[in-house]
Amino acid sequence: MNTLPRRMTAEAFGTFWLVFGGCGAAVISAGFPKLGIGFLGVALAFGLTVLTMVYTVGPISGAHLNPAITVGLWLAKRFSIRDVLPYIVAQVVGAIAAAAVLYAIASGAPAWTPGQFASNGYGDLSPGGYTMASAAIAEFVLTFFFIWVVVGSTDKRAPAGFAGIAIGLVLTLIHLVCIPIDNTSVNPARSTGPAIFAGPEELSQLWLFWVAPILGGGFAGWLYPLLFGEG
């Protein structure tokens, strides 16, 4: 039986892998001389982490790995409200642990500096210099469609067994669009882990990467069954 502690443990491990793999690709590999994987590689890394965890911890916890997904599934009437906070706590703990391990590894390189440490940001912290408004709109819209795909691909009417592929691919696409804007969040837990190690400026902007994804994901979870019924 998948008890709540067991499901929380699965969420923590799954979110650890998401942050360690995705942010690790950004921190360690993206700008590596001659072999740097760039934005495309980072986008694929995030998509692959989710894809692998959907089929690994999905049977145990549902593989939310993201507070926006948890809230969205609750509003879609797919998830109990009593488990929302425990899931979010487990996701944030997993993200912080992953960031800590990544920091310990990355700091072992000669002359390494953390920089933004794959954290999210707008204005001076945006890779492309995008404004707070741009980041807020992007995070709301992209999280909306992320959770829209999550809810739709896990609908009982959808082909069984393919949800992980759809979810991994849509997260890859989202990163291809959003990395230049704000390093892509669509996941408050993913944003929290690196921000803690990046510094006070990154932490001061963290609120946006909780508010916009939660609102976007919640809206998608509420709207899907309203339009298409519960599946």
Domain of residue 37, residue span: 4-109+118-225
Please check whether residue 93 lies inside any domain of the structure. Answer: yes
> Which pLDDT score is estimated for 191?
98
Average pLDDT (129-140) is 98
Average pLDDT (110-134) is 94
pLDDT at residue 179 greater than cutoff 70? yes
Convert the pLDDT of each residue in 44-56 to its tens digit: 999 999 999 999 9
Find the Cα–Cα–Cα–Cα dihedral 157, 159, 163, 169, rounded to 10°: -120
Do 66 and 77 meet the contact criterion of CB atoms below 8 Å apart?
no
Convert the pLDDT of each residue in 180-200 to its tens digit: 999 999 999 999 999 999 999
pLDDT at residue 231 greater than cutoff 90? no
Do 196 and 99 meet the contact criterion of CB atoms below 8 Å apart?
yes
Please check whether residue 90 lies inside any domain of the structure. Answer: yes
**Percent of the chain surpassing pLDDT 70:** 98
Average pLDDT (142-162) is 96
Do 96 and 83 meet the contact criterion of CB atoms below 8 Å apart?
no
Average pLDDT (137-141) is 98
Structure tokens at 122: 């707008």
Average pLDDT (101-120) is 92
- Count of domains observed in the chain: 1
Average pLDDT (153-174) is 96
Do 127 and 183 meet the contact criterion of CB atoms below 8 Å apart?
yes
Please check whether residue 62 lies inside any domain of the structure. Answer: yes
> Which pLDDT score is estimated for 112?
81
pLDDT at residue 42 greater than cutoff 70? yes
Convert the pLDDT of each residue in 54-76 to its tens digit: 999 999 999 999 999 999 999 99
Spatial CA neighbour of 53 closest among 66, 43, 40: 66
> Which pLDDT score is estimated for 88?
98
176: domain CATH number? 1.20.1080.10
Convert the pLDDT of each residue in 2-26 to its tens digit: 999 999 999 999 999 999 999 999 9
> Which pLDDT score is estimated for 114?
84
**Mean per-residue pLDDT of the chain:** 96
Please check whether residue 231 lies inside any domain of the structure. Answer: no
Spatial CA neighbour of 179 closest among 134, 137, 120: 120
Please check whether residue 230 lies inside any domain of the structure. Answer: no
